[in-house]
Chain A
Amino acid sequence: MSLTFIIVFFAIIILINLKNIGVKDYQDFATSKGSFGMLAVSLAVFASWYTGSIFTAWSDFNVGLGFIGMYVMIYTSLMLALMYSISEKVYLWGKKYRLSTLGELMDLRYRSKTLRLLTGLTGIVFVSPWLILEWIAIGVVIHYATAGAVSLFWGMLIGMLVVLVYVVTGGMRSVITAQVFQGSYMFFIGVGVMFYLIYYNFGSLDGAMTLLSEKFPDALTFPGPGWDPPYTYWTSLVITSGIGALVLPYVFNKLLVADSVRSVKKGLILAPIMAVIFWAAFSFLGMGAHTFDFARNNPYEAYMWIAQLTGPIPMALMSVLIVAASISSTAAIIQSISSLITTDVSLVINRKITDKQSIFISRVAVVVISITTMYVATLGQEQLIFLALYTYQAVVLLFPVTLLGLFWKRANKVGAIISIVLGLSVSLYISLAEPAFLADFGWQGGIYGMLVAFTIIIIDGFLRPVDSHVEKLWKDIEMAKERPHLRKDQKEDVV
C-alpha cells in the first residue's frame, strides 16, 4: 500500500507541473520572475525547510536524545525573524536588478565579482551535504515502504528521476508549484498522522510524556541521556543554525520568488505558525518513540517503524510524508545549487554567456549535481548529520557580509572578502581541530568565526569612505517607498 501511495504522490507532482514545462528565460528558471503569492511563499519556505532527513538522520536527536531536538523550533523562528527583516530590501533590489542569488546581491551591493564567486562557492560546497542526506532519506523510505523489495540504491534513483523531471523542465516555477502541494500534505496530513500515532500508541500526549518520564526522564530535558555538553552548546547551536539557515541558498532565494512585498511578508508570518505546530508534533512523536527499545536503538528507522506498528494506512501516509519532505527539499537544493553554478560561477568566469546558454548550464548542473551527490550517498550515512551541522559553521560566515551589506552603508568589499576568508578559516579550524576551550565553553566554531568577520567588516568600514554606488542603492529603496502605491485589487479596480 505504501508504494502505491508514493507512486500516486509522484504522479500528482508530475501532473501539476505539466503546465510548467519549458522556461521563458534564465530568470524564469532561477526565480520564476517573482510570480508567486503569499500562500505559495509560506508553503515553499515550510516545505523547503523541513527536509526528509529529519525523519532519518535527524532522528538521532529527536528519538535518540529526546528534548534536545526541539532546538530546531527556536532556530526556525530566529531564521524567519531575520528573513522578515531583510525581506523588503532583498525583494526590491532583487526585482529591480533581476537578481537570482545571494551572490548576485552581494555583487550588486559591494560591486565585487570575487565576493560573488566566494559566496556562490561557499553555498555550493556547504549545501551539498544536505543533498546527500536527502537522497538517503528517499532511498530509506522507499526501501522500507516496499519491505525491502526495492533496494536503497533503486529507491534513491526513483526519487532522483522524479526530481530531475520537474526541476530540469520547469526550474523554480515547478519547484514552487510542487512545494505548494508537498507543503500542504506535510502540514495538514503529516501533522494529523503524527498526532494520530501518538494517540494510538500512547493513549494521549500526556500518556507518551508520562511514560517517558517514568522510564527515561533524562530525555525530557537538555542534553538528553549519555551526553553532557555545557548549556552554552544549546545557545550556540540555535544561533549558528538560525543565522546560517538564513543564508542557505535554497532558503534565501524564496525571497525572490514572490510577486510583491506583501506576499513575501504575509508568507513569512504564516510559515512560523506551521513550523512550530509541525515540529511540536514531530518532536513529541520522536520523544514517545524513545520509550521503545527498537526505536531507541535504531533511530534512523524509528518514525517508519512506529507507523508500521500502527497499521498499513498510517505507514503509507508516513511514507508519503517523508517522501514529500525529502523531494521538496531536494528539488529546492538542486535548483538553488544549479543557479549558483550558473550565476555566481559561470557568469563570473565568462560574462558573455547568453541567456540560452545559462539555461543549458543550469540544466546540466542539475543532472551532474544529482548524480554526484547520489553516488556519495550510496557510500553510507554514518556521521552525516554532524557533517550537516558543520556546514552551518561555514555558511554562517555569509551572515555578517549580508546583514551589514543590507543595512550599513560603510560596509565595503575589501572588508567583506577578508571577513569571509578569515572568518571561514577560523570557524573551520576550530570546528575541525576541536581545541580544549571548544568543549569547555560550548560555543561552536561558527560563533568565533562570526565574531572575527563582524570585527573585520566594521573596522574596515570605518577606515574607508562610503562607496559611491551605495548611495544610489539606498536611494532606490527610498524612492520605492515614496511612490504612490496601490494594492493589487485596487490596481484592478483602476484598470
Chain B
Amino acid sequence: MKFKVHHNIIFLIIITCLIALMIHPSIFQWANRIEPWILGIPFSAFWLILLNFCICGTFIVWYYTDTVKGNIDIDIEQATEEELNELLGRGGRK
C-alpha cells in the first residue's frame, strides 16, 4: 500500500524544524552567543534573522506548490437557509 503525505504536512514539518532550530533548548543554547559577528550583528541575532528568512522562503515555495496542485483557486457556494438552520440553528438574520 502506498502512503501519500499531504504537502501541507511536509511544509509544516519543515517550518517546525526551522522554528525548533531557534527555540529547542539545546540548539538555542548553542546559538545564544555573541561570537562570531556576522554582517555587523552578534551570532544570536543573525541566527534568528537567517532562519526567519528561511521560513519566509518556505512560505513562498509552499504557496507555489499550492498553486501547482490547484489548491488556490477554490471557491464554494453559500449555504442555503435550510443548511444554515440545520448546522447553526439559524437562518439569515433578517
Contacts and interface: CB of A to CB of B under 8 A. Distances in A.
B22 A74 contact: yes
A295 to B, nearest CB: 19
Given A222-B28, A260-B73, A268-B59, A96 B90 contact: no
Nearest to B40: A206
Contacts of B25: 230-232, 234-235
Nearest to B76: A480
Contacts of A97: 79, 83-84, 87-88
B87 to A, nearest CB: 6
Contacts, number: 167
Contact of B42 (A213, A483, A485): A213
A327 interface: no
B78 A98 contact: yes
Contacts of B53: 276
Contact of B23 (A74, A347, A472): A74
Contacts of B56: 77, 269, 272-273, 276
Given A85-B8, A272-B55, A480-B75, A205 B41 contact: yes
Contacts of A450: none
Contacts of B83: 97
Contacts of A104: 88
B66 interface: yes
A95 B73 CA distance: 14
A479 B41 CA distance: 51
Given A97-B79, A480-B74, A284 B15 contact: no
A483 B75 contact: yes
Interface string B44-63: 11001100110110011011
A interface, over-half SS: helix
A416 to B, nearest CB: 16
B45 A220 contact: yes
Contacts of B48: 70, 73-74
B59 A355 contact: no
B73 A231 contact: no
Interface string A51-92: 000000000000000010010011001101100110010001
Contacts of B40: 204-206, 209-210
Given A238-B19, A354-B94, 12 more contacts: A67-B44, A78-B15, A81-B15, A95-B78, A96-B76, A96-B77, A209-B40, A209-B42, A221-B42, A222-B44, A238-B23, A355-B94
28 contacts: A70-B45, A73-B48, A73-B49, A74-B48, A77-B52, A78-B15, A78-B19, A81-B12, A81-B15, A81-B59, A88-B71, A95-B75, A97-B84, A98-B84, A209-B45, A220-B34, A222-B44, A231-B25, A234-B23, A234-B28, A235-B28, A238-B23, A269-B62, A284-B41, A347-B90, A351-B90, A355-B93, A479-B76
Interface of B: 8, 11-12, 15-16, 19, 22-26, 28-29, 32-34, 37, 40-42, 44-45, 48-49, 52-53, 55-56, 59-60, 62-63, 66, 70-79, 83-84, 86-90, 92-94
Interface of A: 25-26, 67, 70, 73-74, 77-78, 80-81, 84-85, 88, 92, 95-98, 104, 107-108, 111, 113, 204-206, 209-210, 213, 217, 220-222, 230-232, 234-235, 238-239, 260-262, 265-266, 268-269, 272-273, 276, 280, 283-284, 347, 351, 353-355, 358, 469, 472-473, 476, 479-481, 483, 485-487
A-B pairs with the 9 shortest C-beta distances?
Answer: A206-B40, A231-B25, A485-B73, A355-B93, A480-B76, A269-B59, A81-B15, A235-B23, A220-B42
